[in-house]
Amino acid sequence: MEHSLTNATARVPAKSRLKPDTFPIHDVTCTVKSNEQINGEYYLLILSAPSEILDCRPGQFFHLLCPSKGGGNPFFRRPMSIYGYFPASGELHFLYKVVGEGTRAMAQLETGEGLKVLGPLGTGFTIQDGWQNLLVVARGVGLATLTPLAQEALQRGLNLTAICSARSPEMLMSVDRFRELGANVILVTDSEGSSGVENLERMIEAQIAQSGIDAFYTCGSNRLLKLLQRLGAQHGIPGEIALEQQMACGIGMCQCCVRSLRRGGKIIHERVCKEGPVFDLQEAMEW
């Protein structure tokens, strides 16, 4: 699989990369269409966005300039993975959980207010030609990151199974969205005791035996990473993972968002904002 931007950019002639006819990264003010709490923990932010920023790839993100609201004054922008992009209706969706100063400020945004967004940024997921059966395994807000991938896979007529994990059934979000898109959804929760690694492994093994799996996709959990790495190695199934890291610039300049990866027998560093946030599953390291 190909997702290193160093390689990707090497194929692009310098002229079009360094002096593009249109700049691929946009810094624009979008208008808040709605920003609502959809259950105890999660908010859905819907922005009215110009078409030029909606030419996105699943797995990419935007860098949001959170407002100084609610007593907070976040300095850096906040990277936020895309929950949905809809060029036809001119909408950009983010699903987020309030965890700190930035997201607390975001939660204060009201309909009609502006929000500056920079993007789309980063290198997204890849689906290789010929793949038929994809498996998404994610937990909590990580499911949001994988939703655009499900949308693309299902639009391309591929089969997609989504194992959605959460603390309790009430916490499961994105599930309706996965169903709407036509994914085969399997719910597992901690409260029902179905989200344990052994149970997940049984389910995935069954899926492999039944219809076969061409690729794994996941996001944000060490436990799932380890499980999928093991199963991927055993069965020769490739995979990708979206990783997070604190960011400053978001476009590759500051070198703050690096993560360690295993490649060619060595440990290397790559930027989550540029070569990532999507990396090869087997190269990813626990954190």
Partner 1 sequence: MVDIAVKLGSVELKNPIMPASGTFSEDLAGVFDLDLLGAHVTKTVTPEKRIGNPTPRVCEVQGSMLNSIGIPSKGASHFVREIIPVYEIFSPPLIVSISANTIDEFARICEKVSVPGVAAIEVNISCPNIEEDGKAFAMRPSTTLRVMKGLREVTDLPLWAKLTPNTGETPDVARAAESGGADALVVSNTLLSMAIDVKTRRPKLGNLMGGLSGPALKPIALRMAYQCAKAVDIPVIGCGGIATVEDVVEYLIAGASAVQVGTATFTNPMVMPHLIEELRAWLFAEKFQSVNDLIGSVRDDEAADSVVFMEAAP
Residues that bind partner 1 (CB under 8 A): 14-15, 17-20, 23-25, 27, 65, 73-77, 118, 245-246, 248-259, 269, 274
Which residues have CB under 8 Å from 154's CB, separation 6+? 160, 181, 182, 183
- What 3-state DSSP class applies to 60? coil
C-beta of 84 vs 102, nearer to partner 1: 102
C-beta of 154 vs 256, nearer to partner 1: 256
In the complex, minimum distance from the CB of residue 252 to partner 1, in angstroms, rounded to a whole number: 4
b/e per residue, 56-79, with b = 16+ CB within 10 A?
bbbbbbbbbbbbebeebebebbbb
* Tokens 């259950």 -> residue: 39
C-beta of 132 vs 260, nearer to partner 1: 260
In the complex, minimum distance from the CB of residue 238 to partner 1, in angstroms, rounded to a whole number: 27
In the complex, minimum distance from the CB of residue 249 to partner 1, in angstroms, rounded to a whole number: 5
Which residues have CB under 8 Å from 218's CB, separation 6+? 136, 137, 138, 142, 146, 224, 225, 228, 239, 240, 241, 242, 281
Q: Can you tell me the distance from the alpha carbon of 33 to that of 140, in angstroms, rounded to the nearest whole number?
A: 24
In the complex, minimum distance from the CB of residue 173 to partner 1, in angstroms, rounded to a whole number: 27
In the complex, minimum distance from the CB of residue 13 to partner 1, in angstroms, rounded to a whole number: 10
C-beta of 5 vs 135, nearer to partner 1: 5
C-beta of 66 vs 143, nearer to partner 1: 66
Closest CA to 135 of 77, 205, 74: 205
- Return the bridge partners of 27, or none: 118
